[in-house]
Chains A and B, each alone.
Chain A
Amino acid sequence: MTPRRHLFTVFRHTVLLLWTLVVLFPIGWMVMTSFKDSGDWVSWPARWVPFVDFEPTLLNYRQIFYFGGSTDTGALRREQTEQAYNIWKAAFDSVVIVTVSSVVSLLLGSTLAYAISRFRTGGKNYPYTILTIRMLPPIVVAIPMLIYFASLPEAFTWLVGRRVEFFDTYYGLTLLYIVTTLPYVIWMMLAFIDEVPRELEHAARLMGASRLTTIRKVVFPLVASGMAVTLLFVFILNWSEFLLALTLSQPKVLTLPVLLNKFQSAVEGRLYGPQAAIGTVVTIPVVVLGFLIQKHLVKGFSFGMIRR
């Protein structure tokens, strides 16, 4: 038995190490490229080892953040030849839109989830009806939205005599993100709220607490961590959203995924270095958040169907 078990251990580690390489290779390459100067971005054979094959530089990060852009000669040289981008505007837009929409979605979704869990609001099929929203391809939402956002200003002019724009605005995108993430919030919070024993609420009510007090003092403390997890999960989803932001906002409102795409289609040729730097910077917060809620990721992605 022992040699066989030994063989299995070797086999297990070989396979797992192989997949580790597959996973880390693209990430490692991107991080490495973010520290390369323009001559090293694309070269054959590829440059692998820092300090041996290529000299690491912070130029790309300096360019995207504009740190000392005007004094540093290297950064200046690149700004003159290529269009200069910076990440601040997009980061601000992303943070504002994603935070507001995630918080609003959490509040609306969790109160509704409570009502569904305790009173079967909307009937037995309601959660599943909501789930269909999530299963629609975003493009099927985006095209009606394009038409809708083009028509709304005219409708507002006609109705209230004032033009209200939705296309390429903060609230336009925020509203969309609220609706598209509601199904996730409702389903995740249902999973958390269902775990709170009803007996606790009954006890509190029998002792004379009002409905609101019962929720505040009994239910909320028990689901607070679940709400935090849900908020982070929805935050990650919105932070990554690309199609709706690409088609219904920009250039005035610009989120980070769209900014990354802009480097892609730059006429001067691909700016691999700054792009890699932005990719790295944008990824770090989500990976950190992701590991914070690691235990609950299954719950989120399976709409709370796999609850363990």
Chain B
Amino acid sequence: MTESRGPAPAGPPSRTRLSRWLERERVFRILPLIPVQALVLALLFVPMVLTVYISLLRWRLTRGFWTDAPWGGVSNFVDALTDEGFFDAVGRTFLFAGGSVVLELGIGFGLALLTYRSFRGRRFYFTVFLVPMMIIPVVVGYDFSMLLIDTGPLNSVLSALTGRDIRIRWLSEYRAAQAAVILADAWQWTSLTFLIFVSGLAALPRDPIRAAEVMGATRWQVFRHVELPLLKPVIVIALVIRTMEALKIFDMPMLLTQGGPGNATETISIYLWRNAWIFNKISYAAAASLILLVIFAALIYLSIWLLRRERSRLEAETAR
């Protein structure tokens, strides 16, 4: 499996000490790990430990350095856990993620089914459909904020299509603003689910499908009982990856509404950002982000377990 188990060749007599040192397998195995581990340790682990400490203080950025801040104990955690705003923001984040992921998977799958076999014009559609995910999220957010102004082009088009004067206040009405965030996210990332599904469909093993066709299965039966089960790993991978990304959502609501109107589009990222950078409540934000970290740890554990399982299935499938 590893090179050490293969024939162990001696190599040429080395010229310098350095090259002789590099020739050892142990060095070769460990050396690349050191800088990466050092970076992770210095830039993620140490700050995390520091954050745990700060979350136990009562420090605001405007009041001196944290060495002078008074001890607060677990009060910040209690505050966060009893703050409705925090849990509302968490709930809203899941709502947005759920809404956009359902749209993305649904539309992406439908489009992939229509596009994965060759036909005239396939290349054109394929190219166009991939464009949104290559555009920077900030630009998408900005672009939609321009499309969605009250007298903007989207309302113009809707008015023209329905023949009535439609003035949906996309960015200043509670529900409409929430819909706007979901739509902007779905617009951008449907391209990714589309791409994942097209490559999944194109890579399906031909033999089981042909076997089913020979045995007289209808097109629908082949799809439902042969293709769909074979595609399941790809679907799960797309679902997990998109959900985890959608839960991070920050750019879209920030650019569209800055979390408003009121707190209609205040996702958890925006909530924490406001507390830390607008209100300067650093200790509180630290405590809240640690709580969030615990929630996410569970989710990440689950999604990695899923990804691992589906990945080994996918490999078994390709090996067949």
Q: Is the CB of B50 within 8 A of A151?
A: yes
- With a cutoff of 8 Å between Cβ atoms, the chain A residues found around residue B70 in the complex are none
Which residues of chain B from 234 to 287 have any CB-CB distance to chain A below 8 Å in the complex? 234, 237-238, 241, 244, 247-248, 250-251, 254-255, 268-269, 272-273, 276-277, 282, 285-286
Q: Is the CB of A283 within 8 A of B139?
A: yes
Q: Is the CB of A26 within 8 A of B187?
A: yes
Q: Is the CB of A143 within 8 A of B11?
A: no
Q: What is the bound-complex CA distance between A122 and B31, given in angstroms?
A: 11
Quick one: given A46-B156, A135-B300, are A257 and B138 in contact (CB under 8 Å)? yes
- B28 is an interface residue with CB less than 8 A from chain A: yes
- With a cutoff of 8 Å between Cβ atoms, the chain A residues found around residue B277 in the complex are 146, 247
Given B134, B237, B293, which contacts A140 in the complex, CB threshold below 8 Å? Answer: B293
Quick one: given A29-B146, A118-B3, are A305 and B314 in contact (CB under 8 Å)? yes
B-side interface residues, number (CB < 8 Å): 113
Segment of B17-25, B71-79, B210-218, B221-229 engaged in the interface with chain A:
B17-25
Q: What is the bound-complex CA distance between A146 and B286, given in angstroms?
A: 10
Q: Is the CB of B244 within 8 A of A135?
A: yes
- With a cutoff of 8 Å between Cβ atoms, the chain A residues found around residue B304 in the complex are 128, 131-132, 135
- With a cutoff of 8 Å between Cβ atoms, the chain B residues found around residue A206 in the complex are 7, 9
Quick one: given A23-B132, A240-B136, A306-B199, are A15 and B48 in contact (CB under 8 Å)? no
Q: What is the bound-complex CA distance between A64 and B314, given in angstroms?
A: 49
Quick one: given A20-B125, A108-B32, are A208 and B12 in contact (CB under 8 Å)? yes
Q: Is the CB of B129 within 8 A of A23?
A: yes
Given B54, B139, B143, B311, which contacts A29 in the complex, CB threshold below 8 Å? Answer: B143
Q: What is the bound-complex CA distance between A132 and B244, given in angstroms?
A: 11
**Nearest B residue to A201 by beta-carbon distance?**
B3
In whole Å, how far is B4's beta carbon from the nearest beta carbon of chain A? 8
- A39 is an interface residue with CB less than 8 A from chain B: no
Q: What is the bound-complex CA distance between A298 and B202, given in angstroms?
A: 13
Q: Is the CB of B134 within 8 A of A236?
A: yes
- A30 is an interface residue with CB less than 8 A from chain B: yes
A sample of 30 cross-chain residue pairs with beta-carbon separation below 8 angstroms, ordered by A number, consists of A16-B111, A23-B129, A26-B187, A27-B131, A30-B146, A33-B146, A46-B156, A108-B39, A111-B32, A121-B30, A135-B296, A136-B293, A137-B268, A139-B269, A140-B293, A142-B273, A142-B276, A151-B66, A176-B43, A179-B44, A182-B36, A208-B11, A209-B12, A247-B273, A257-B139, A261-B254, A287-B135, A298-B199, A303-B307, A305-B310
Given contacts A132-B304, A243-B250, A275-B146, 17 further A-B contacts (CB under 8 A): A24-B128, A25-B147, A108-B39, A119-B29, A122-B33, A133-B44, A135-B303, A143-B285, A179-B39, A182-B36, A243-B269, A260-B142, A261-B138, A287-B134, A305-B310, A305-B311, A308-B202
Q: A interface vs B, CB < 8 Å?
A: 9, 12-13, 15-16, 19-20, 22-27, 29-30, 33, 42-46, 108-109, 111-112, 114-115, 118-122, 128, 131-133, 135-148, 150-151, 154, 175-176, 178-179, 182, 198, 201-202, 205-206, 208-212, 236, 239-240, 242-243, 247, 256-257, 260-261, 264, 272, 275-276, 279, 282-283, 286-287, 289-291, 294, 297-298, 301-303, 305-306, 308
